[in-house]
Amino acid sequence: MKKFVNDPKDYVPQMLKGIELANPDTLRYVPEYNLIMRADAPRHDKVSIVQGSGSGHEPAHVMSVGKGMLDGACPGDVFAAPPSDYVYETAKLLASDKGVLLLVNNYTGDKMAFEMAQELAEADGISARTLFIDDDVAVQDSTYTVGRRGVAGNFFVMKAVGAAAEAGADLDEVVRIGEKVNSVTRTLGIALTACTPPAKGAPLFELGDDEIEIGVGIHGEPGRRRAKIMSADAIVDEFLGAVVPDLPYSSGDDVALMINGLGGTPLSELYLLYGIAHEKLAAQGINVRRSYVGEYCTSLEMAGASLTLVKLDDEITKLLEAPAEIAIRVF
Amino acid sequence: MKKFVNDPKDYVPQMLKGIELANPDTLRYVPEYNLIMRADAPRHDKVSIVQGSGSGHEPAHVMSVGKGMLDGACPGDVFAAPPSDYVYETAKLLASDKGVLLLVNNYTGDKMAFEMAQELAEADGISARTLFIDDDVAVQDSTYTVGRRGVAGNFFVMKAVGAAAEAGADLDEVVRIGEKVNSVTRTLGIALTACTPPAKGAPLFELGDDEIEIGVGIHGEPGRRRAKIMSADAIVDEFLGAVVPDLPYSSGDDVALMINGLGGTPLSELYLLYGIAHEKLAAQGINVRRSYVGEYCTSLEMAGASLTLVKLDDEITKLLEAPAEIAIRVF
């Protein structure tokens, strides 16, 4: 294993410490719960937004904390759900007078941790709700899920509920918006390589030198099928062939298009895929109004990408356009 | 080779098309010269800033075009200098009444192309200057250079001259600022893996399963030495041991600290390195005032990172703080 790491058990804490040190004015690190939180949270004039899930998906979710996005993220270890008491303590610490929304990518471990935390928080009189994200069209049930998995599309849910909360929406309204965005968001992922969790020290699965996994999950879990490596044009056809008919997205629709890197794929390839997808959508009469190219939800250093579509209306567009400030900055 | 690519000869053009499609309001793609330019360039109230170099280093430089940064970037093919006529035509197209500054990472091929283009532009009566960036402390001369190489530190030069130009500085002043920032910027890179140019289809060099290259260039060219993989703490000691004494950076100095990913290394590892470097610098009395963590100058999908320090004063800090808008956006 060649990684920048000390003792693998310090991988997550040392990453979190780095995030805090890089954002001294805006973020705080609470080691007891693996928590990265806004320095000004909780703000009692807004609903607090919290997300967890395993580590190894950065910038989701610890680098997505900030004004207009998450108030806090309390991940577990690499590819492991956070313990429910991390989530419970985080909910208690961050809940505002307007309540707290717990966002959960639909994986069984995360679901259990967050539902238990919500119950405990509610028993303490905290107004808490849970919202599950399940944008992955690849498979119905999966290695770690009942129902569909939540993957890179969770960015759009975070962004929309973050903006709504910042604008003062109450908890019911924030939940309504999150469910609405999730309901019009669809993703498919394709892996070119496996990835190596630091504590395991070996690749999570085997993929031949000329093989790709179509519909891969963000922990390397199987998708729809293995295939031989194909051209970028054919890859985009795989993406769109799975995603477009699923909602479906139709001629005349306005959409946001995200090409998300899974960790080991360079920006050049992501923009190449983006351009092809944009034009193929245009040829179907589907109008790309907002573009997202880069890393939003990764699987450590896995080479690969996912494609996400979001059907836009005025309400969603406005929420996606709203300013936000997070750990990942260009300047 | 497993990459998202069609015919390798279309790799760069299809990436550039993707950049344009993702930024329809702000950027324009001119296929004849591999040029990505601001849609509003040239603006005659400011010096124009142009950079080229090979492709495969994205977001440098084609995704660094935008308000407050570059007016245009005209790269060559992957790891190849742009033809001098691309640079010349770009200089003619983008030169404003206040002139044009050509930024060049110090590699022999790029130097030749840009110097010839500058001569041709000047013969046309265009006020053109060339500024060489050579922040890499690893080696004095190298496979493709006389003198030191220009690597990730070029981001700070782009950012500073971009801000100065936007504020209306004249060409002499912009050059002065660029030279000043270059003179206080130092970088070292470490590779964990090689990378595979699409047209070659095979790794550029061989690195053992437990080996790393200390002082690697951004085209995989050799650095100072091969070593066995070591802990992140030891890696940071290698970075700082090379970079800090070179300027030198001293106790009491204010610096910007960049941990730049070389393409295949996930954000989690970059933040882990960042945190360790920040604390080790603090222990030396060197104050990190600005932080940059992510991909700024890559080598395709190479796993690895570089560390850059910039010594800050009020003038440089203000230029780095100035707003800018480029292709790589979070929202």
Which pLDDT tens digit goes with each residue over A240-267? 999 999 999 999 999 999 999 999 999 9
Distance between B119 CA and the closest CA of chain A, angstroms: 31
Catalytic residue flag (residue A61): no
Residues of A in contact with B303 (CB under 8 A): 2, 264, 301
Q: Is B80 left (phi over 0), alpha (psi -120 to 50) or beta?
A: beta
Q: How confident is the model at residue B146 (pLDDT cuts 50, 70, 90)?
A: confident
Q: What is the pLDDT of residue A326?
A: 80
- Residue B327: inside a domain: no
Confidence of residue A187 (pLDDT cuts 50, 70, 90): very high
User: Do B204 and B147 belong together in one domain?
Assistant: no
CB contact under 8 A, B275 and A21: yes
Q: Does A30 touch chain B (CB under 8 A)?
A: no
Q: Do B271 and A19 touch (CB under 8 A)?
A: yes
Q: Is A146 on the interface with B (CB under 8 A)?
A: no
Q: Is A279 inside a domain boundary?
A: yes
When divided into structural domains, chain B yields a total of 2
Residue A142 reports pLDDT greater than 90: no
Closest Cβ opposite residue A267 in set B268, B269, B295: B295
Whether the CB of B226 is below 8 Å from some CB of chain A: the reply is: no
CATH classification at residue A312? 3.30.1180.20
User: Does the annotation count A57 as an active-site position?
Assistant: yes
CA closest to A231 among chain B residues: B6
What average pLDDT is seen over chain B? 95
Any chain B CB within 8 A of the CB of A220?
A: no
Q: Is residue B17 part of a domain?
A: yes
Q: Which two tokens stand for residue A24?
A: 């001294």
Contact between chains at B14 and A232 (C-beta distance less than 8 A): yes
CB contact under 8 A, B267 and A295: yes
Residue A331 has pLDDT above 60, yes or no: no
| Residue B63 touches chain A, beta carbons under 8 Å | yes
Please report residues of B whose CB lies closer than 8 A to that of A290. none
Cis peptide before A44 (omega within 30 of 0): no
> Which of A183, A212, A244 is where one domain is finished?
A183
CATH, residue B166: 3.40.50.10440
One domain for residues A91 and A34: yes
Could you tell me if residue A79 is inside a domain?
yes
In a domain, B3, yes or no: no
Interval B77-103 mean pLDDT: 97
Residues B86, B225 within the same domain: no
Of A6, A235, A291, nearest to B232 by CB-CB distance is A6
Half-sphere exposure of A61 (CA within 13 A, CB side): 37
The yes-or-no verdict on residue A330 having pLDDT over 60 is no
Regarding whether A206 and A82 lie in a shared domain, the answer is no
User: Which residues form the domain of B92?
Assistant: 8-183
Average pLDDT over residues B312-320: 97
A331 found inside a domain: no
Same domain assignment for residues A230 and A292: yes
Q: Which of B1, B15, B295 sits opposite A271 (nearest CB)?
A: B15
Which of B2, B233, B264 is nearest residue A301 as measured by Cβ atoms? B264
Quote the percentage of chain A above a pLDDT of 70. 98
Flag if B193 and A2 touch (Cβ within 8 Å): yes
Cα–Cα distance for residue pair B331/A324, rounded to 1 Å: 8
Specify whether A165 is located in the same domain as A218. no
A254 and A141 within one domain: no
pLDDT band (50, 70, 90) for residue B144: confident
Q: Among A141, A165, A183, where does a domain finish?
A: A183
pLDDT reading at A273 higher than 70: yes
**Do B171 and B210 fall into the same domain?**
no
Average per-residue pLDDT for chain A: 95
On whether both B177 and B157 belong to a single domain, the answer is: yes
- Of A272 and B328, the structure prediction assigns the larger pLDDT to A272
As a whole number of Å, the CA-based R_g of chain B is 19
User: Which candidate in A17, A195, A211, A272 is best for mutational testing of the B interface (most B CBs within 10 A)?
Assistant: A272
Which of B79, B192, B236, B267 would you mutate first to test chain A, the one with the most A CBs within 10 A? B267
pLDDT for B226 equals 96
Contact B58 A288 (CB under 8 A): no
> Are B246 and B116 within one domain?
no
Instruction: Determine the distance in angstroms separating the CA of A126 from the nearest CA of chain B, rounded to an integer.
Output: 31
The predicted-structure confidence for A202-225, as pLDDT tens digits, reads as follows: 999 999 999 999 999 999 889 999
**pLDDT computed for residue A325 by the predictor:** 85
How many Å apart are CA A94 and CA A90, to the nearest integer?
6
Catalytic residues of B: 57, 219
* Overall average pLDDT of the A148-172 stretch: 97
Q: How far is CA B164 from CA A83, B61, B319, in A?
A: 50, 18, 7
Note whether A151 and A35 are same-domain residues: yes
pLDDT at B329: 59
For residues B194-215, give the mean pLDDT: 95
A201 touches chain B (CB under 8 A): no
The partner residue sitting opposite B324, judged by closest CB among A14, A232, A331, is: A331
Task: Give chain A positions within 8 Å (CB) of B267.
Answer: 58-59, 63, 295, 298, 328
Q: Report pLDDT for B229.
A: 97
Task: Walk across the sheet containing B287-294 and list its strands.
Answer: B225-228, B211-214, B185-191, B304-311, B254-261, B287-294
Q: Is B323 helix (H, G, I), strand (E, B) or coil?
A: coil
- Residue A128 domain-assigned (yes or no): yes
Sign of the CA dihedral with B84 first, then B86, B92, and B97 last: negative
Last residue of a domain, one of B129, B162, B183: B183
Tell me: cis bond preceding A198? Omega within 30 of 0 counts: no
Averaged over B126-140, what is the pLDDT? Answer: 95
Chain B residues with CB inside 8 Å of A58's CB? 266-268, 271
* Residue pLDDT, tens place only, A312-323: 999 999 999 999
What pLDDT band is residue A329 in, cutting at 50, 70 and 90? Answer: low
Instruction: Please check whether residue A80 lies inside any domain of the structure.
Output: yes
Return the SS3 of A70.
Answer: strand
Residue B282 and residue B195 in one domain: yes
Output the pLDDT for position B328.
Answer: 65
pLDDT for B73 beyond 90 = yes
Q: Residue B95's closest CA among B87, B107, B85?
A: B87
| Cβ separation B275–A324 shorter than 8 A | no
ipTM entry:
0.96
